[in-house]
Structure 1
Amino acid sequence: MSSFHSATALLLVLLLGCFVASMADFSSTVDITWGDHRGAISRNGQQLSLSLDKISGSGFQSKQEFLFGKFDMKIKLVPGNSAGTVTAYYLSSQGPFHDEIDMEFLGNLSGQPYTLHTNVYTQGKGNREQQFHLWFDPTADFHTYTILWNPQQIMFYVDGGLIRVFRNHQSAGIGYPSKQAMRLYSSLWDAEDWATQGGRVKTDWTKAPFTATFSNIGISGCAKTGLSSSCDASSSAWMNQAAVTSDLQKMNWVQKNYMIYNYCRDVQRFPQGLPPECSL
């Protein structure tokens, strides 16, 4: 990343305070924002559940906005026939030119693998999808999903293993989310028009309500809380984190064996040439 963009990112961080909520409780960290009784916090704030029925889904968002951070969540996904459902876990700013970092779990027929859909938006433009089949049953137990977002790159992890990196190439004129603060969101909603096998398999409402469960929320980030001298020393680990050899080996294994879509290989979708970051 160029010195100009590094300085810009640092200046924005200097205007933010540092927020650390390692293994925080949901009651103090998030608000359930829609779905009425379909979203519920339990176990003294240590667990949260979202449900979906034919009338509505549900969702929550972090109480604070962040510019850069590390976001961990344990999730147990909708079991059984979850076709048509999407459990979303993502960061987003507001407005038509928003930034967004997505992890979405696309339901499927019983016995088929869940699809993890990832994407990165900058200034309202996405089209940077990578999809993976999960190599375990994400409905049998909780698994940890992590988004690490710093000025150098965005890294996606599953159970501590790296699966994707999106690097900052602003110096080459490629968009990167580095200026807009974002909230953490999660939701469970019906997307039967596209979620399962391209919309060919519809939601079976006789199986409703569908429920996903969340625990162990952990946020270390620079929160938008007004003027501050800088993020404190506790932010340095994730603020400067980069993929090491063992991370890249894990990512290569996942992408070789479980990646089912990569926009950087979709020449039919981009007949005029693949996006420029694909060659960097």
Structure 2
Amino acid sequence: MGRLLNYRTATLVVALLATMVASAFSANFYDEFDLTWGGNRGKIFGGGRMLSLGLDRVSGSGFQSKKEYLFGRIDMQLKLVAGNSAGTVTAYYLSSQGPTHDEIDFEFLGNETGQPYVLHTNVFTQGKGNREQQFYLWFDPTKNFHTYSIVWRPQHIIFLVDSVPIRVFKNAEQLGVPFPKSQPMRIYSSLWNADDWATRGGLVKTDWSKAPFTAYYRNFNAAACTVSSGSSFCDPKFKSSFTNGDWQVGNELNAFGRRRLRWVQRYFMIYNYCADLKRFPQGFPPECRSSRL
């Protein structure tokens, strides 16, 4: 128990430091994003420091980045729909376009009051997804803002929550698995109704008497390479965002980062496609062989 408490204390300190760094470098939403659908349900306010998305019986809402990115670290702080959020999905992801698109997903599946959110992650390469891992969180994501990060490198994709690695998707091209490395991607987010599947497989429907539902965003930061008209520009913070940190050394997780990843996957992972024998009775997809740490 003492070891677990010490770990949680260390995690809290890292999260606080991550929040301070995000606050110092956060970008202006007016400059970085366009509200793309949902009418006035999406709002930018606080001088561009805050953004909110809304969902009611008529429509959800969404936004997308003005820039396209090819590798980098993307950080965003979210505070999710509070109360009875069953049936709702808050999606935050990177994606290219077209039938062979690449995509890196965070999706937050709402739940009834008092029941935990499900954090759903997925990776699409060349239009093929079905690489789901799902987690509970070790905190209530509706009470405060928390930082959700995507580290996208030619070697791997790392999903982080408050600087804690929860998932690593390694480049397994040597096994014949495509990896997202050539298609620039925009950042997207949306709040929408998915009560046909989101909560307990669609058994729990959206309670529209609780609408409107609202999710909040702040402290966006991209230490990344942007692509425009065939040319690219890499932010000076791009390199340091991968060489600094208590969870990595060079391009890989260090021993502490691997311990934290195993802690999350042992105590908070609730689904892993790489362990679903019913789904893959003839053997797991080849990238599962390279996902072991």
TM over 0.5: yes
Quick one: which amino acid aligns to residue 51 of structure 1? G
Higher helix share: 2
Distance across 1 between alignment mates of 2:258 and 2:203: 35
Specify the alignment match of 2:12 in structure 1.
none
Q: Secondary structure at the match of 1:111?
A: coil
Residue equivalent to 1:123? 126
| Residue in structure 2 matching 1:245, options 255, 259, 277 | 255
Match of 1:7 in 2: none
- Aligned-residue offset at 1:226: 3.6
The aligned residue for residue 263 of structure 1 is: 273
1:34 is the counterpart of 2:44:
no
Which residue of the partner structure matches residue 11 of structure 1?
none
1:83 corresponds to which residue?
86
How many residues align? The count is 260
What per-residue deviation string (whole Å, max 9, x for no partner) do you get for residues 140-182 of structure 1? Answer: 0100000110101000000111100000011221121111100
The residue that corresponds to 1:276 in the other structure is 286
| C-alpha distance in structure 1 between counterparts of 2:233 and 2:53, whole Å | 35
- In the alignment, structure 1 residue 204 sits paired with structure 2 residue 203: no
CA distance in 2, matches of 1:102, 1:70: 14
Q: Is the partner of 2:48 in helix, strand or coil?
A: coil
Q: Distance in 1 between matches of 2:225 and 2:189?
A: 20
For residues 178 and 111 of structure 1, do their structure 2 counterparts lie closer, same or farther at Cα, with a shift above 3 Å needed?
same
**Letter of the structure 1 residue corresponding to residue 172 of structure 2:** H
The secondary structure found in structure 2 opposite 1:216 is strand
Q: CA deviation at 1:22?
A: 3.6
Check whether the contact 1:150–1:238 (CA below 8 A) recurs between aligned residues: no
Residues 93 and 183, structure 1, Cα contact 8 Å, conserved in 2: yes
CA offset digits 1:72-118 (Å, max 9, x no partner): 00000000000000000100000011100000000000001110000
- Structure 1 gap ranges (5+): 1-20
More relative contact order, 1 or 2 (CA 8 Å, 6+ apart)? 1
Residue type of the alignment partner of 2:258: L
| 1: CA distance, partners of 2:173 / 2:25 | 31
Match of 2:228, SS state, is coil
1:112 paired with 2:122, answer: no
230-239 vs 123-132, which moves further: 230-239
User: Which amino acid letter does the alignment assign opposite residue 36 of structure 2?
Assistant: T
Which of 185, 190, 198 pairs up with 1:187?
Answer: 190
Q: Percent identity?
A: 60
Task: State the Cα RMSD in Å.
Answer: 1.5
Partner of residue 75, structure 2: 72
